[in-house]
Structure 1
């Protein structure tokens, strides 16, 4: 059974189980750290396409300690953790205790897969051999599209499902294209105490994960995530010829917001302004009607596997080492 077939089957089972209870009215995406950021494209899709199922996204401990009042038997909780983060397991149990149906999205079996009603395995984007059309972000986006299709219909469903098969080939070409670019960017930014990452719309989640997981967690370098729209409402005051700014440029309806940012930073920034464009990475190979929802699926592994590794090499920081994570009781 393919991942798409498994997703279709699980969503069908959830909806059948809830049919006599009023159906699924809400979906909540839950995860911690990179898993939380990786849920962004699913939430983004639901916000822009679904009219029958309301969607929300929470980091695990926030969900545990401030559980939304709407969580009940008409809620689907999609809970993501690679190996079973403790607070994420607790969040899954809280959702289940409130009557929600629960799906574990995981790499390794853990307490999460024991708690949840259903489970779907994914490929880690950090592993070169993984299929990038089966990462955590890909699987949750599939669920979002399948849930919308089965509850109200999604006009571009067949096109979107076919696009998942294009993700890995696009990614492989993008790796070869970006390696020399990333090496140059890393050399130019190796001495910077802070690397700002800017994006908006369908790419804000990828920018957030790059900041908090790749730059801060793995390399212990300060990083700030900036929304390109809000750049003009405060953050642009930091910009000068010395500022390190990494801008992600999307395809989709809100690309004009990225282009506005490009015009400003190219005029007032310096050589440490860097722009990575979805069109350069091959997103144009995916039909315009759905390509917006695949920005994150290409950018996230490129940022992790090419740009983070390039910066690790020039700063001589082993990206597998940590100060606190996995070492302390926190």
Structure 2
């Protein structure tokens, strides 16, 4: 596979799922001590990656769980943030300025802070009350967030199948390796067909909306300097659809949760206008070792793995490094 470090990929994913005992011990302690609400705080991609777990909690639980932008939280505050709040942060590098400031702000309000990162000596790991460390550069954080949210809901009596689900997550490294292998040919074909495309229209919903936003903003815009529109499939018929034309590249991210029918509806309309519609559907992957009832929960990880292969091929055909930036962490702001 193009620019794919298999040992590193497996080591990183294995380190994430291996955090299960630490995560469960932490959740159990928090539940026993009692807390009032949960904030999922991020910046950019790590903010978007919190959305599936806010959604999961909203679907199953009466607990107040909300995803929040780090910089906005500091600037605007939140009346419900206080001594009975638990706040989770994720950061690949552990150095994201907005998140560092948000940790300091949350702690000043008496909140209990948790950090997931790959660097124990990073500012974020040092500033939170407890840091759970994976291998360096581990991405995505969905494994850790699934374990944390799943255990929390289980302890509240809102996720009866958590133990079986968590057991199956141990299989994810090998399962995702097979997903990457299966995705390779399609990723190469998409990149070749779109090497000169300068605008993409992305559609997603349910627990894939966060990834839709992330891939549009963090990959295509930030890493490839391409123009995009991103729209939730439930909101597709309220504005953005007017941008569709016959040659518009439409990328549809399709998952396996309750929003699937909404994304189907948006895709069907898009095909009536555009002749360039590509669907990346998690249902196309076998996921041997994941029970049918859990497939929808791991869809964000599946899609991240698939589109990771697309990103590498776009980097190749466009001769544009995924590490190249003009402004982000280059200029002061």
Tell me, yes or no, if structure 1 residue 320 matches structure 2 residue 330.
no
Check conservation: 1:167, 1:298, Cα contact below 8 A. no
User: How far apart, in 2, do the equivalents of 1:188 and 1:248 lie?
Assistant: 18
Q: Who is 1:29 aligned against?
A: 40
Identify unmatched segments of 5+ residues in structure 1: none
User: How far apart, in 2, do the equivalents of 1:275 and 1:311 lie?
Assistant: 17
Q: Please report the TM-score for the alignment, with normalisation by the length of structure 2.
A: 0.89
Q: Give RMSD over aligned pairs.
A: 1.9
1:3-61 Cα deviation digits (max 9, x unpaired): 11010112223334xx3xxx21210001111111222222121111122x210001110
Q: Who is 2:109 aligned against?
A: 98
1:317 is paired with a residue of what secondary structure?
A: coil
User: How far apart, in 2, do the equivalents of 1:57 and 1:260 lie?
Assistant: 27
Q: Who is 1:214 aligned against?
A: 219
Check conservation: 2:52, 2:206, Cα contact below 8 A. no
Q: How does 1:132-281 map to 2 (within 5 A)?
A: 135-270=140-275, 272-281=276-285
2:236 is paired with a residue of what secondary structure?
A: helix
Check conservation: 1:251, 1:283, Cα contact below 8 A. no
The alpha-carbon deviation at position 143 of structure 1 amounts to 1.0
Tell me, yes or no, if structure 1 residue 55 matches structure 2 residue 57.
no
Change (3 A) 1:294 1:99: same
1:54-113 Cα deviation digits (max 9, x unpaired): 100011101111121001111110011122211101101111111111101111232211
Q: Who is 1:71 aligned against?
A: 81
User: How far apart, in 2, do the equivalents of 1:122 and 1:40 lie?
Assistant: 21
User: How far apart, in 2, do the equivalents of 1:224 and 1:261 lie?
Assistant: 14
The alpha-carbon deviation at position 284 of structure 1 amounts to 7.7
1:147-177 Cα deviation digits (max 9, x unpaired): 2222335212123212312322232122122
2:152 is paired with a residue of what secondary structure?
A: helix
Q: Who is 1:110 aligned against?
A: 122
Tell me, yes or no, if structure 1 residue 287 matches structure 2 residue 303.
no
The alpha-carbon deviation at position 203 of structure 1 amounts to 0.5
The alpha-carbon deviation at position 274 of structure 1 amounts to 0.5
User: How far apart, in 2, do the equivalents of 1:206 and 1:299 lie?
Assistant: 8
Identify unmatched segments of 5+ residues in structure 2: 1-14
User: How far apart, in 2, do the equivalents of 1:321 and 1:225 lie?
Assistant: 22
User: How far apart, in 2, do the equivalents of 1:28 and 1:301 lie?
Assistant: 26
Check conservation: 2:179, 2:287, Cα contact below 8 A. no
The alpha-carbon deviation at position 283 of structure 1 amounts to 5.0
1:120 is paired with a residue of what secondary structure?
A: strand
1:181-218 Cα deviation digits (max 9, x unpaired): 11111122222221121100111111111111111111
Check conservation: 2:89, 2:114, Cα contact below 8 A. yes
1:232 is paired with a residue of what secondary structure?
A: coil
1:258-315 Cα deviation digits (max 9, x unpaired): 2212322233220x21001111123585323332221111112321x20111111111
User: How far apart, in 1, do the equivalents of 2:143 and 2:21 lie?
Assistant: 14
User: How far apart, in 1, do the equivalents of 2:266 and 2:44 lie?
Assistant: 27
User: How far apart, in 1, do the equivalents of 2:329 and 2:270 lie?
Assistant: 38
User: How far apart, in 1, do the equivalents of 2:87 and 2:45 lie?
Assistant: 18
Check conservation: 1:252, 1:288, Cα contact below 8 A. no
